[in-house]
Structure 1
Amino acid sequence: MAQINAYLTFGGKCREAMNFYKESLGGELEFIVIEDSPMAQHFPAELQKSILHASLTKGDLMFMATDMIGPDGIVPGNNVALTITATSEEEMNDFFSALSLGGRVTHALEDFFAGRMGSLVDKFGIYWSVFYDINSGK
């Protein structure tokens, strides 16, 4: 079954914020730092210590975060995105296509080290990321 999770953008304060949430809520916290990821060569030197992806999980509770800011910068409303983790590539494509109708694709669907992903703003101004892990079928 597909899941929807919150994805927060902190623009340089991701580690601090996620550690705060871990202290407040408990759970397991994981970070992927740009310099330690297969994506490192795609980012400038000044971003290498930034958090590419973080996740906090406790039972069924999970939310994710990043330091990566989109082309619009951080404005009210775009620092929180809903992320759909699809159960198949077909489902991912269907979700992405449907949600982008009347909206704006901010990052086309493409493969990267953790799977396949794209981002968009729907016609109501809600930010979405759609993800499918090709390797595990999640």
Structure 2
Amino acid sequence: MQISTYLLFDGQCAAAFAFYQQVFGGELQLTTVGDSPMQQAFPPALHARVVHARLTSPLIDIAASDWLHPTEQPQPGNLMCLYVSGGSAEETTRLFQQLSAGATVTDPLTQHPFGLYGALNDAFGVRWMFHA
């Protein structure tokens, strides 16, 4: 299990990560809605949106997507969160439940085609995303 930085964009993830790759180098993995198993669940207008991007090198390891929560507008402070990934479903569920104390759960921990996923804003206003 690992905690890393996760950036949230509203349609500019691919451009931002192409830029970051130019600056920092590294290997870029990027999946759009149109390239994912979720393609049929979204209208064609959303198929270019990034479901998940990750840029890794000895210098950087960041991940991102074009999925800012629908109730929020992009603004400084809500475009970054802590991303808990790589653990078992049991570990992920335990951490999610513990961090839920006093939190606003925006996405209950649920199984999706891409794995177990959930998100919350903890009691201190920090955004957390979970994926197993």
What TM-score do you get using the length of structure 2 for normalisation?
0.91
Secondary structure of the residue aligned to 1:29 is strand
For 1:92 and 1:62, locate their aligned partners in 2 and report how far apart those are by CA, in whole Å: 20
Alignment check: 8 A CA contact 2:21 2:28 kept: yes
Shift of 1:62: 1.4
Matches within 5 A, 1:99-138: 99-132=99-132
Is 1:77 aligned to 2:77, yes or no?
yes
Secondary structure of the residue aligned to 1:102 is coil
Shift of 1:86: 4.4
Aligned residue number for residue 90 of structure 2: 90
Shift of 1:60: 7.3
4+ runs of 1 displaced by more than 3 Å?
A: none
Matches within 5 A, 1:50-61: 50-59=49-58, 61=60
Aligned residue number for residue 39 of structure 2: 40
Report the AA paired with residue 61 of structure 1. Answer: I
- 80-89 or 121-130, which deviates more: 80-89
Aligned residue number for residue 10 of structure 2: 11
Where structure 2 has 5 or more consecutive residues not aligned to the other structure, the ranges are none
For 1:80 and 1:90, locate their aligned partners in 2 and report how far apart those are by CA, in whole Å: 25
Alignment check: 8 A CA contact 2:33 2:49 kept: yes
- 111-120 or 54-63, which deviates more: 54-63
Identity of aligned residues (%): 38
Shift of 1:32: 0.4
What TM-score do you get using the length of structure 1 for normalisation?
0.88
- 71-80 or 112-121, which deviates more: 71-80
| Number of residue pairs matched by the alignment | 131
Alignment check: 8 A CA contact 1:50 1:67 kept: yes
For 2:75 and 2:66, locate their aligned partners in 1 and report how far apart those are by CA, in whole Å: 14
Shift of 1:73: 2.6
- 37-46 or 48-57, which deviates more: 37-46
Change (3 A) 1:40 1:84: same
Q: What does the per-residue CA deviation read over 1:85-116, in whole Å, with 9 as the maximum and x for residues that have no partner?
A: 14221110111011111011111111122221
